[in-house]
Structure 1
Amino acid sequence: MADTATTETREAAMTDVQDTRVPTVVVDDVHIVYKVHGAGSGKGSATSALSRIISKKRSPAIREVHAVRGISFTSYRGEAVGLIGSNGSGKSTMLAAIAGLLPTERGAIYTNGQPSLLGVNAALMNDLTGDRNVILGCLAMGMSPAEVKTRYQDIVDFSGINEKGDFISLPMRTYSSGMAARLRFSIAAAKTHDVLLIDEALATGDQKFQRRSEDRIRELRKEAGTVFLVSHNNNSIRDTCERTIWIEKGELVMDGSTDDVMKEYEKFNH
């Protein structure tokens, strides 16, 4: 009897813990379809193009790509979730949809808080200097001028931009892709985010910067944020995320503990 009571108590405690988790992103049976314009889709006169628009006829050179097919999952505050899959599997598409940058064909995405997408293609102003981009980036994230002033040097130091010279005062167009990606991550990571979406950001920079990035993601999780990380670096996923979602050909293959999912994913790729 005592053993049964103990088991019931444990199960009740586990239920209480689960019930207190706060959902941050709910993806409900999401489908995303791209319309791809093939060769010849832009040919013809303006009159013929206008005629197609009025008659609502689709150009024969436009084809649809079903990039995400019926994916559903829920993330919770304090989680770091890895997204893995082969090239073209739909990982980055899924992140962009969570960020509100892509519409869903069917299904819905609900977020508790503002998602912030950080990726190697995130736009900074190439004609402005690094320091101007730091200031504008922080202001755009909602920091006050006083907060920007306080955090500015930490952002520059974290990025490592000035380790080999005064690059922060040079225009962004003079930066390598790795330097620009490190600065983007440093700016985004300076603020606590409700939902931070990272697309391959940790693949840039040397091992020292990658370790700093991984440490910062852990700090963001402690500050009640949720982090999604897309990466082809299996070690980054293992070091950063306790949960991993595997997407292949637009479909959810597996969602579970990182160790379990990575084992199956690595078997699939061998």
Structure 2
Amino acid sequence: MAVAEQQTLVSTPASGSRVPTVIVDDVHIVYTVYGAGTGRGTATAALYRLLSRKGSPNVRRVHAVRGVSFTAYRGEAIGIIGSNGSGKSTILRAIAGLLPTESGKIYTDGQPSLLGVNAALMNDLTGATNVLLGGLAMGMSQEEVRHRFKGIVDFSGINEKGDFISLPMRTYSSGMAARLRFSIAAAKNHDVLMIDEALATGDRAFQRRSEERIRELRKEAGTVFLVSHNNNSIRDTCDRAIWLEKGELLMDGPADDVIKAYEAHSGK
């Protein structure tokens, strides 16, 4: 899927029927890695090969997602589990339109929003300025951001030990920055919200607030995807889980059933 190939669902369902928000149809995602395995070469040499269309003996294709298909529905919270490198974050990035597919299609109803612990905020700007910019980037008006500003800061908890919201983001710990990112994203109701490891940061009190907010988003007719290595967070937050391994979908069903099968397989 070139990003432009991602299509928007247009549905007029009968009353009482489930409304699909994301359809992933036989999706394959392949990465091309240049210079893998040698550690040699320069950026200039790599650029020359690309411009001259000359191949490299050390080009490697990584098949990160292999024929994955599933449908997500409005009001669902879906956990995505699997070992490291299983394709969890990759499939979220594809749903968000940030990665092309080799084959297959992704259909979405509304604009998916991807939140990860590496979501881009400006380190040289204050937390307060990042709240404003983050809200505007999500489509809120300045008035909406100002109205929700205190709630965002209070939810994040970063001001509990001082006036950190007025300091540059570069002074924050990784946990503080991740909590602020989640708080900004959670301030808006999303058609499809994808959270990549956001609940792995912060203390238990913040995790409880995050889990409660995800439940609220579900009630407000959105769909939530959660990628986490914390199986308890998946159990507490999600009613459905998808298990990916080596890029393949191994199981899709009730969260507790899928997690039990994953834990039996991985010995956790």
Post-superposition shift, 1:52? 6.2
Q: What is the 5 A alignment of 1:184-223?
A: 184-223=181-220
| 1:153 paired residue among 107, 131, 150 | 150
Post-superposition shift, 1:62? 1.3
What amino acid sits opposite 1:93 in the alignment? Answer: T
137-146 vs 120-129, greater mean Cα deviation: 137-146
Alignment partner, residue 71 of structure 2: 74
Alignment partner, residue 179 of structure 1: 176
Q: Determine the C-alpha separation between the residues in 2 that align with 1:102 and 1:186.
A: 25
Is the CA contact (8 Å cut-off) linking 1:41 and 1:62 kept in structure 2? no
Is the CA contact (8 Å cut-off) linking 2:49 and 2:56 kept in structure 1? no
What amino acid sits opposite 1:181 in the alignment? Answer: A
Q: Determine the C-alpha separation between the residues in 2 that align with 1:78 and 1:183.
A: 25
What SS is found at the alignment partner of 2:159? helix
Q: Determine the C-alpha separation between the residues in 2 that align with 1:230 and 1:190.
A: 19
Q: What is the 5 A alignment of 1:240-251?
A: 240-251=237-248
What amino acid sits opposite 2:209 in the alignment? Answer: R
Judging by fraction of residues, say which structure has more helix.
1
Post-superposition shift, 1:259? 1.3
Higher Cα Rg, which structure? 1
What SS is found at the alignment partner of 1:187? helix
Q: Determine the C-alpha separation between the residues in 2 that align with 1:201 and 1:187.
A: 12
1:96 aligns with 2:93: yes
Shift of the 164–49 alpha-carbon distance from structure 1 to 2, 3 Å rule, reads closer
Q: TM-score scaled to structure 2, two decimals?
A: 0.90
Post-superposition shift, 1:263? 1.1
Shift of the 63–186 alpha-carbon distance from structure 1 to 2, 3 Å rule, reads same
What amino acid sits opposite 1:124 in the alignment? Answer: L
Shift of the 104–167 alpha-carbon distance from structure 1 to 2, 3 Å rule, reads same
Q: What is the 5 A alignment of 1:24-35?
A: 24-35=21-32
Q: Determine the C-alpha separation between the residues in 2 that align with 1:151 and 1:143.
A: 10
Post-superposition shift, 1:57? 3.3
What SS is found at the alignment partner of 2:243? strand
1:255 aligns with 2:252: yes
What SS is found at the alignment partner of 2:99? coil
What amino acid sits opposite 1:68 in the alignment? Answer: V
Q: What is the 5 A alignment of 1:39-188?
A: 39=38, 42-43=41-42, 50=48, 53-54=51-52, 56-188=53-185
CA RMSD of aligned residues (A): 1.8
Q: TM-score scaled to structure 1, two decimals?
A: 0.89
Is the CA contact (8 Å cut-off) linking 2:239 and 2:254 kept in structure 1? yes
Shift of the 62–152 alpha-carbon distance from structure 1 to 2, 3 Å rule, reads same
Gaps of 5+ in 1: 1-15
Q: Determine the C-alpha separation between the residues in 2 that align with 1:236 and 1:77.
A: 20
List structure 1 runs of 4+ shifted beyond 2 angstroms: 39-46, 48-54
Gaps of 5+ in 2: 1-13
What amino acid sits opposite 2:116 in the alignment? Answer: G
Identity of aligned residues (%): 75
Alignment partner, residue 6 of structure 2: none
CA offsets per residue over residues 132-171 of structure 1, 9 Å max, x none? Answer: 0001110111111111111000000000010000100000
What amino acid sits opposite 2:217 in the alignment? Answer: L
Post-superposition shift, 1:243? 0.3
What amino acid sits opposite 1:227 in the alignment? Answer: V
What SS is found at the alignment partner of 2:86? coil
Post-superposition shift, 1:31? 0.5
Q: Determine the C-alpha separation between the residues in 2 that align with 1:261 and 1:78.
A: 19
